[in-house]
Structure 1
């Protein structure tokens, strides 16, 4: 007989304390716990945050807390997996349009800037604590990241094959994605530039170095 290990995706979780709320009450409690974990992981880091602190921030008693989470790592997976799926869905939507590669690349950059700014706490957690995931969760997150990078690479490959882009080297793709992720670390709501202005500046910076001579495609 196969024994499921506690905390692994899909494995039964032994829960303690009083029965959980049902319906909207349960959903509201789970949302508060998720929001509290996101705030604390972004502020202090995954390893420096205790489960009791998450319960206190979410105003959920410790006994009830265990009805809504399998483990602290499960909360980390929900945060990182959910955010990465948003990025992937947007990239796949744009790639599926089969439009001009340079136009798609512009839209990818602008869309990712918007998502990173909106979900910058999750990006901060990813940059610092993604390696805290273990086993199947770590593997699935890596698969999602690889698929996301692959969609970007498809666009850059197509642009290079069409003579529009100077290079299709994977270093370029990884460099663009890394630069965009770093936005979460320095963006300020009251900064000099709006999110749209930041997206335009970064788009033009990337394409000024990547567009082949003579290609002035505009989005």
Structure 2
């Protein structure tokens, strides 16, 4: 005998043995969205799919998020906030310009390995952000770009990098090269993050260092 849809839906709801866990609920919704946005795309993912994937209800979703776009914004923030914090630390910890650039390239590649779904969604689905969400994410993206651009310009001004290059173009080249790895890099494959970092740094620094 087939169970009524209402009974089936109730049986899927997540239960918290130790009581309601708001952070766990929010995390489950974000993780479900991460998987679906990467596999299906933002447009084709429904709210019902998100809550089903998290074993939750639409009521739980709207308790934490206003819309699918709100979750997308949260996903973008998770990735960008982590990268910005680590990038600032790199600039503070390394005094040598080449070492700063090398560490930032490794950070970008490590980000792809650790946050592959975040990176894929950032580049493929960011266009769905609007208004304040778009403005906030754009500001954070610009901050990361400015950090790399500033390091390259500092190297040019100090006479350590070639003077016949434009820092902004070099920065965009580095960002694009690193970002594209989400399409092909496999952290469990034959090459490690360090292996790819070494080859990328050879390409970039051999072309920059005087």
Q: TM-score, normalised by structure 2?
A: 0.86
The equivalent residue for 1:176 is 174
Q: Within the alignment, does 1:68 sit opposite 2:78 as a pair?
A: no
Bigger drift between 72-81 and 97-106 goes to: 97-106
Q: CA separation in 1, counterparts of 2:159 and 2:120?
A: 36
The Cα shift of 1:163 comes to 1.4
Deviation above 3 Å: which 4+ runs of structure 1?
Answer: 21-24
Aligned CA RMSD, in angstroms, stands at 1.9
User: How far off its partner does 1:23 sit?
Assistant: 7.2
Match of 1:159 among 155, 160, 163: 155
Quick one: distance in 1 between partners of 2:58 and 2:106? Answer: 42
**Aligned equivalent of 2:40:** 44
Q: Deviations for 1:80-115, whole angstroms, at most 9, x for unmatched residues?
A: 022111111111111223601111111111122112
In structure 1, how many angstroms separate the alpha carbons of the residues matched to 2:129 and 2:84? 19
Q: In 2, Cα distance between the equivalents of 1:204 and 1:43? A: 34
Structure 1: segments with no counterpart, 5+ residues: 1-20, 213-219
CA distance in 2, matches of 1:24, 1:84: 29
CA deviation after TM superposition for structure 1 residue 162, in Å = 1.4
1:92-131 correspondence runs (5 A): 92-97=88-93, 99-131=95-127
SS at match of 2:93: coil
Give the deviation of 1:190 after TM superposition: 3.4
| Distance 1:62-1:201 versus aligned 2 partners, 3 A rule | same
CA distance in 1, matches of 2:139, 2:187: 32
Residue 34 of structure 1 deviates from its aligned partner by: 0.6
d(CA) in 2 for partners of 1:138, 1:127: 13
Alignment of 1:10-21 (within 5 A): none
Does the Cα contact within 8 Å between 1:153 and 1:168 map onto a contact in 2? no
Matched, 1:88 2:62: no
1:134 to 120, 123, 130: 130
CA deviation vs aligned residue, 1:25-76 (integer Å, no higher than 9, x gap)? 1211111111010111111111111110000111112233222221100000
Tell me, which stretches of 5 or more residues in structure 2 are unaligned?
1-15
The separation in 1 between residues aligned to 2:80 and 2:20, in whole angstroms, is 26
